[in-house]
Each structure stands twice: as C-alpha cells, then as structure tokens.
Amino acid sequence: MSAPAGTPTGDAHPADLVPLQTTLGVTLERGLLVRALTHRSFAYENGNLPTNERLEFLGDSVLGLVVTDALYTRHPDLPEGQLAKLRAAVVNMRALADIGRRLGIGAFLLLGRGEETSGGRDKSSILADTLEALIG
C-alpha cells in the first residue's frame, strides 16, 4: 500500500522505525507509518502536515469488523446483545491504550510541544487512536 499524497516521508520522523515494525510484525511503507504516528498537535505546529486521523477512522472500522467476525464465529449461540457487550469490552480506549503501551507506541509518536510536555506519550486516548491508525 502506498502512502497517501501529502504524507510526510524520509526524515519527517527522527526515529528509526524498524524496531516498531519488528514489534508489530509488519513492514510498512515509511511514509504511511509516519502518518499513522503523526498526532494533530505535531501536524499543526509543523505547517499543517497530514495527521493520523483518517487512518484512525479506517482502523477503527477494520478493528470493529475483525473483532465482530471473531466473536460471531467463536460464539455461535450468543445473542446479539451479549456479542455487542463482548465487543465493547475488547474494543475500547482502555484496552487499546494498554495494547499500545505494551507495544511501545508512545516512544514513536510525533507530538506537538504541548502534548509532549503534558505526558501525551502515555495518554490513553492518544495511544488508542494511534493503534487504530496503525491498523488502518
């Protein structure tokens, strides 16, 4: 998959992203990976770069579909209401942020100064959103 037009590439991310890709178990095109890690606070401070928000939107849908399919397949006798509760327990900000922390995503985030100084690398909402962007 190619990076969308306008995605920061090359030196736009100062870190070596290979360790993250190794942890994730995938090799992604660098520009796309950089976009997935670009929080809007960084983008706005650096000339309105593209953010990870569209990838987050896509990843949220992909994750929802994959989890829904897995629950539907593994629990053929559960009614819709129970399946929905199970999905909500799996796909929520806290659960996604915990996964993001275990993967070490925070170290690779591109954050604006305000988010950086206020602990944005460990904010549950940012970690969960970034994980969804990586899935997208």
User: Which residues are the active-site residues?
Assistant: 60, 132
Question: What proportions of the chain, in percent to the nearest 5, are helix, strand and coil?
Answer: 65, 0, 30
Contacts of 126 (CB under 8 A, 6+ apart): 39, 106, 109, 111, 115, 120
Q: Which residues contact 83 (CB under 8 A, 6 or more apart)?
A: 68, 71, 72, 75
Give CA–CA dist 60/91, Å, rounded: 9
Biggest CA–CA distance in the chain, Å, is 52
